[in-house]
């Protein structure tokens, strides 16, 4: 069981691509701007290279973490201390029987949904409540991250 950095890199692109779609004025962009208190003019400020660069770095971290939620074999690897060469023969037998079990896009998408619903949505909702943001704001932002986590989880789990 090795970390698939190509899958993680591809998954890290998902929030950038989805952001162009999700926050476009013809989808949820106008609602998001209104609920955030932003205008098209105010969004023109800022260093976009830094914003997109850091978005990719943070998205990479999310994709990296999602593999541990979506790929059950990482748990088995963790049980042997991370080094399969030091494992008992039962680990090798287990991996030969179940090494590719549940390694599908669909399974990763399920875990992406569960992770986003149980972790990301509550965090965004709590921040939104304390920032006195509307439920529209909370649902637009958490919906974005739910869709991203579903796709990202599918990519990191299904890419074998």
H-assigned helices in 71-134: 73-79, 89-98, 105-115, 121-130
**Is 65 in a helix, a strand, or coil?**
helix
pLDDT (tens, 9 = 90+) of the chain, 160 residues, equals 678 999 999 999 999 999 999 999 999 999 999 999 999 899 888 899 999 999 999 999 999 999 999 998 888 888 888 888 888 898 889 888 888 889 999 999 999 999 999 999 999 999 999 999 999 999 999 999 999 999 999 999 999 7
Q: Is 104 left (phi over 0), alpha (psi -120 to 50) or beta?
A: beta
Instruction: Compute CA 19 distance to the chain's CA centroid, rounded to the nearest angstrom.
Output: 13
Total structural domains within the chain? 1
Containing structural domain, residue 122: 5-158
**Is 36 in a helix, a strand, or coil?**
helix
Residue 85 burial (CB count, 10 A): 5
- Cβ pair 134, 49 in contact under 8 A: no
């Amino acid at each position: 069981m090795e970390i698939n950095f190509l899958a993680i890199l591809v998954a890290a692109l998902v929030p950038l691509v989805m952001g162009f779609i999700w926050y476009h004025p013809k989808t949820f962009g106008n609602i998001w701007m209104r609920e955030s208190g932003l205008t098209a003019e105010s969004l023109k400020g800022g260093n976009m290279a830094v914003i997109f660069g850091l978005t990719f770095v943070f998205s990479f971290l999310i994709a990296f973490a999602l593999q541990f939620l979506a790929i059950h074999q990482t748990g088995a690897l963790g049980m042997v201390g991370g080094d399969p060469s030091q494992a008992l023969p039962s680990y090798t037998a287990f991996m030969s029987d179940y090494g590719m079990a549940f390694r599908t896009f669909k399974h990763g998408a399920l875990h992406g949904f569960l992770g986003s619903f149980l972790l990301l949505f509550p965090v965004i909702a709590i921040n939104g409540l304390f920032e006195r943001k509307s439920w529209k704001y909370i649902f637009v932002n958490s919906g974005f991250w739910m869709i991203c986590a579903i796709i990202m989880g599918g990519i990191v789990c299904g890419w074998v």
